Structure 1
Amino acid sequence: MRLIRIERRTFTAPAVFLADDGQRAEVDAYFADLTRPFGTEPHRVRSGQSYGEMARELLAAVAPAEPVDLLVLAFSIHDLWPGRATATYLSRLCPGTPLSFAVCDQGSAAPFTGLRIIRDYGAPRALLIVVEQATLPYDSTAPTPAEHRGVAMLFGAIGGPRVTGLRQHPAVAPEAVAGQADRDVTELAAGSDGVRVVRSDALAAAWTGHPDHTTVPAGQPTTGVWWHLADALTGSAGLVVAADYDPDLRYLCLAGIEVR
């Protein structure tokens, strides 16, 4: 697996489909039905994003002459068009009409699971799309992102930094995070000229110290690490480790990418 290209974008305008009164009314009715059993009323949907619209723009990571064999869409917070099979929709738009998967309900571990699917499937060319939108039309204790953001990563067998290792650990208690993360980085970095770690703010809170590591600012719990990974990969040769921890679900995930 080699990382051929990264495309990343921030989306400032509401989803286009929300401009249609009929579609917005259908979304309002859906969320009213969804929240009614919990004794709450949703907010009127006036802004927010559709992952189909966001990812459609991120497909700029794929040139027409680069047909994709596998597409994986990873997200944590749902979008505002719940009736769409988004991964299937994107397969139709993507060069190659690839087999597609959607990975959710894993918090910040979802993109790492997407990487694992790509690795295990062994597709000649694969696209991982990580998206998050910042609007929930109902009250929730879950932190919402600061912005609508998306990152698309195109992988292939030739060219670009190479993915050398992947670690995913479930049920890691906060007090065990630092020790496990240290062991994983040591294993992933074996034989490398040097190592740079890009970690989420949630991981930094449990894995203190290491001022040389890049800690991603808070506010983008799903895309943050991958957004800043693009900058880290433009540096000197050596291993770059993308690392994240979900304190609610207790998933600890790391991926090593070798820059030559």
Structure 2
Amino acid sequence: MRLVRAGRRRFTGDAAVLADDEHRAQVTDYFADLVRPFGAGPVTGLSGQSYGEMARALVAEVVPAAEPVDLLVLAFSIHDVWPGRATATYLSHVCPGTPMSFAVCDQGSASPFTGLRLIGDYGVRRALLVVVEQAALPYESPAVTPVAHRGVAMLYEAGQGTRVTEVRQYPDVAPEAVPEAARLAVAELSAGHPGARVVLGDSLAAVWPDHPDHTPAPAGQPTTGVWWQVAGAREGAVLAGDYDRELRYLCFAVVEADQS
């Protein structure tokens, strides 16, 4: 699979659905019920984004009607403000081709890498990977949220002679074990893709003191960060890496870009 078209966007303000007072009240009550057993409560003044709205804008930008998609994968790690919506199913409805679709979550920054690996495993002609994150939580939490609402959509296409996108995922890697594991992974992937531009997430760079020269991902964007840079690649190979310190996932992928 090769990356043939991509879009990336920063979103501001709140989701349009939050203008509906009834919806705002229902969502506030819903999350209050979920977190009450853990001694937390809802935030005062619910705000945030709906991944359906974010992704719909990206799909319209990236997927022409004449290029129907066979598979759509939505990757995220933070709740959005429309918890009752089956977002992946909704996106299938608005995406050309009405593709098979599903979501990958609960894997932190590993979610997009898992999505890309699944796209490769399905062996379809054309696939769309949508990565989204919002900068707000709908309940009280000490967790650090992303800096901004951001979304990335990447259209991948199979072609004759195109290399298979390579993904490496390593679970349960302690921070002190990251440097050696990362060095070996990058060496292996670089051997198969000489000249690949390296992009590293800030979390990975922080625990890998002797990391190679690289393009840094936007700081404070744990899910979309490296993919923001991948989406901007016009041609050639990009070797992307990231590390989720909390969940201890170490991930790498090589993407061949041909956005002509």
- Name the aligned partner's letter for residue 255 of structure 1: A
1:12 aligns with 2:19: no
Q: Distance in 1 between matches of 2:102 and 2:168?
A: 20
- Name the aligned partner's letter for residue 216 of structure 1: A
Structure 1 unaligned segments of length 5 or more: list them: none
| Structure 1 residue 47 displacement after superposition | 1.9
**How does 1:1-260 map onto structure 2 within 5 Å?**
1-59=1-59, 60-158=61-159, 164-210=165-211, 212-231=213-232, 233-234=233-234, 237=236, 239-258=237-256
Per the normalisation by structure 2, the TM-score is 0.93
- Native 8 Å contact 2:120 2:165 kept in 1: no
- Native 8 Å contact 2:201 2:225 kept in 1: yes
Q: Distance in 2 between matches of 1:86 and 1:164?
A: 26
**Superposed CA offset, 1:136-183 (max 9, x none):** 122213220111100000011139x85541100001111111111111
| Structure 1 residue 88 displacement after superposition | 0.4
Q: Distance in 2 between matches of 1:31 and 1:188?
A: 42
Q: Distance in 1 between matches of 2:196 and 2:71?
A: 29
- Name the aligned partner's letter for residue 29 of structure 1: D
* Residues 95 and 45 of structure 1, relative CA distance in 2, 3 Å threshold: farther
* Residues 52 and 45 of structure 1, relative CA distance in 2, 3 Å threshold: farther
- Name the aligned partner's letter for residue 248 of structure 1: E
Q: Distance in 1 between matches of 2:257 and 2:21?
A: 49
- Native 8 Å contact 1:24 1:45 kept in 2: no
Q: Secondary structure at the match of 1:118?
A: helix
Identity of aligned residues (%): 66
**Superposed CA offset, 1:92-119 (max 9, x none):** 0100111111000000000000001101
Q: Distance in 1 between matches of 2:22 and 2:88?
A: 24
Q: Distance in 2 between matches of 1:132 and 1:71?
A: 17
| Structure 1 residue 209 displacement after superposition | 2.6
- Name the aligned partner's letter for residue 35 of structure 2: T
Alignment coverage as a number of residue pairs: 257
Structure 2 unaligned segments of length 5 or more: list them: none
- Name the aligned partner's letter for residue 68 of structure 1: V
Q: Distance in 1 between matches of 2:184 and 2:90?
A: 40
| Structure 1 residue 45 displacement after superposition | 4.0
* Residues 259 and 10 of structure 1, relative CA distance in 2, 3 Å threshold: closer
Q: Secondary structure at the match of 1:113?
A: helix
Per the normalisation by structure 1, the TM-score is 0.93
Which shifted more, 108-117 or 24-33?
24-33
- Name the aligned partner's letter for residue 73 of structure 1: L
